[in-house]
Amino acid sequence: MGSGSSEVLGISSKEAQERLKKYGYNKVEKGKRLSDWEILINQFKNPYTLLLLSVALLSIFLGEKTDTFVIASIVLLGSLLDFWQERGAYRTVEKLLSMVRVSATVIRDGEEKEIPIEYIVPEDIVVLRAGDMVPAEGTVLKEKDLFINEALMTGEAYPVEKKVGDYLYMGTHVVSGFGVMKVIKTGKDTEYGKILQRLKLGKGETDFEHGLRRFGYTLFEVATLLTLLVFAVNAYYNRGIINSLLFALSLGIGITPVLLPAVVSVGLSYGARHMARKGAIVKRLASIENFGSMTVLCCDKTGTLTEGKMKVYAFKNILDEDDKKVALFSYVNSYLQTGYKNPVDEAIKEWMRSEDISEFKKLDELPYDFNRKRLSVLVRRGEENLLITKGAYSHVLEVCSYAQIGGKIHDLHEVLENVEKVYTDYSQRGFRLIAIAYKVVEKESVSYEDEKDEIFLGFAVMHDPIKEDAKNVLKKLLDLGVELKIITGDNKLVAEYVAQQIGLQGGVISGEDFRKLSEEALISRVKDTFVFAELSPLQKDAVVRALRKAGYVVGYMGDGINDVAAMRSADVAISVENAVDVAKESADIVLLKADLETVIDAVLEGRKTFLNTMKYLFMQTSSNFGNVFSMAGASFLVPFLPMLPKQVLTANLLTDGAVMSIPTDTVDEDEIKSPKRWDMSFIKRFMFFFGILSSIFDYITFIFLLYIFKVRPEMFRSTWFLEGLLTQVLVLLVLRTKKAFTKTKPSPSLILTVVLVVWLGFFLPFTPLGNILELKPLDNRLYAFVFIITFTYLLSVEVLKKFFYKRYNF
């Protein structure tokens, strides 16, 4: 190959390290690794935090150094807490992702090596085989029937044949054949990287992400209005400009979900860790919510409903007799083809491994693709050249004009009834039939046009047993509110047989039926159809999109090249650890084994994670809204600053510490039995309903403290600090469940943090720190009052909770 021969030896490992330092990792922007410093800086992006620190800094010049130090310390301590939690969540996800790294085969130091694709550098020599993702950009040095799917870059659905010198783009994938490429560009320098940065390609926001963002904006707007109002009122009553501003900003921090990113990250990463223990690796945290809200799961039957171990049952001719020629030609085709690796060829090779086929010399190949659904190998045996074709029955039949019985050649139409009978009989019994045909040619190379006028020979009859627990697993999915739909490229009769055996009832659509349906008709039909068979990759994709338009949250489980388009269209893409690279790269969740039991476990974990994240939102927003609403009113009713800024921030810090354990909490069994989705209107109702209830008790507290007990300002603040802290923390145990709080057990972590924060609330006024915060121990009558008001509040929440959930359902 001239100069190319030295190129194929590749670069050295040492040179690769130097190039990695020069060009960086072979990653696009979405794969950027956040450093600890970046995670820390992210904690200070909340505008209220920055404003509070700015005003605290200003107060130093006005002589209030002690208070400034205290406020700054509390804010920094809270930010460090968020940082520690979020860093732990981020690193957990990194570890999980490393378990499903997509790798590539490169030639370094003169030998083939498997390396993670991010370590590929310019000048690397990459070996490509069917199912591989093209990991960078470069030119083809060697090829044999190399077909690349470039749909990601060009939108063209059909594979493109690549020759020596042709350019390959990152993100495309090998459909069939073999190739060797020389890398020219990596990472952000590739066209894929540029497009991704320019158009932000990839999946859009999930419902969960979109809902969180909108909700954050809503709270920020409310907080801004209340902050301005509180500042204006306190400044008007001459309670000190700086103190009024610090107080108002402290309230802003109180109502805005400062901890929301950290709690969501911690909650999702905690769920991801649990899902990993169940055998599911989460690649995209936000997909956990989609997993929990999934209402339909689409999967192939092979490996999920069946054992996934294809075995040869027999080689039959069209008279349903065992036939050695059918077996031999099947084996020659499977052994010599170099394109798409698949279980059928592996099973045939295993069955026939002792057969000597040295008399067959390969001349050329027409690789398998998912539109033709067949592959042909041109071989020489003696003086004759034979084109041997193997593939899906209907797709092989369409290139045949003749059929062979014994040593005689017949017109295909004369014996078609026999052929159909054998095919139908075995298919209805659950066997998969691979058709075999051949013809003699005079050429030493062939093109697709040569696949015609062939002689139909017979079938390789394959068997993949249905899993023993498939029926039980289907029932579990249905009990969880998840429908199962079989989407397969296999023949209709086999797919129907599998569906019947596991108890899946409903309509069937084949690829041929599919072509006759309009988009609107398909959307209507998908609801009652449970088997989609003989589909091309684009038809699978269309089914997924139709299901989504019909209102389903769609999970798609795929492991092959033919599943990638459908996976990218699904709400949550699921793959398996031994899938082809491009399927794993497209997946949101990767299962360590192809098993629906693992899917069920992961769905349950997804729902638990989502529900615990919602608990944080429900409880924090309702109590914070109530507190801020109370403080806004207190600014009018109370003739002094109702709570000092440092006291507000300390209360926030303590409650933040308690809610950080929510991701570990248990979830009611009833709550995870149905799919869960983000509901903005429900969250708003919850926030107003329980927030107003909290405020009512705060106003009762104000009245008692001002007009019954007639306490001094410092005692007013200390009493309200304790009452506010206790109600806000203890209500976690009540609102965490729809049931009576005595009937469901919180997690040990949640109990521990709640008890610890309550103890701190009582103990703090007796410490030097309490002195700095100007918190005073209460007398017995005030402790009794705090106990009564807290108990009455919790009892009211418990009673009204039943009323609320009867009227509004989540």
Torsion of CA 258, 263, 266, 270, to 10 degrees: 180
Measure CA of the first residue to CA of the last residue in the chain; give whole Å: 67
Are 261 and 268 in contact, with CB atoms under 8 Å apart? no
Q: Phi and psi of 405, rounded to 5°?
A: -125, 115
Nearest to 786 by CA among 730, 740, 719, 738: 719
Interacting residues of 462 by C-beta distance below 8 A, sequence separation 6+ = 310, 311, 312, 313, 344, 347, 431, 432, 433, 434
Are 255 and 219 in contact, with CB atoms under 8 Å apart? yes
Pairing of strands 137-149, 160-162: antiparallel
CA gap 440, 455 in Å, rounded: 9
Q: Catalytic site residue 132?
A: no
Three-state DSSP state, 384: strand
Are 139 and 185 in contact, with CB atoms under 8 Å apart? no
Alpha helices in 638-742 (DSSP H): 645-659, 680-703, 713-735
Angle formed by the axes of helices 343-351 and 324-336, to 10°? Answer: 120
Nearest to 736 by CA among 652, 599, 616, 627: 616
Are 54 and 89 in contact, with CB atoms under 8 Å apart? no
Q: Phi and psi of 203, rounded to 5°?
A: -70, 145
Are 263 and 83 in contact, with CB atoms under 8 Å apart? no
Alpha helices in 402-466 (DSSP H): 412-428
Instruction: Give 131's DSSP letter.
Output: T
Q: Which of 67, 82, 145, 300 is catalytic?
A: 300
User: In whole angstroms, what separates CA 739 from the centre of its chain?
Assistant: 31
Query: CB 438: neighbour CB atoms within 10 A?
Result: 23
Q: Kindly list the catalytic residues.
A: 300
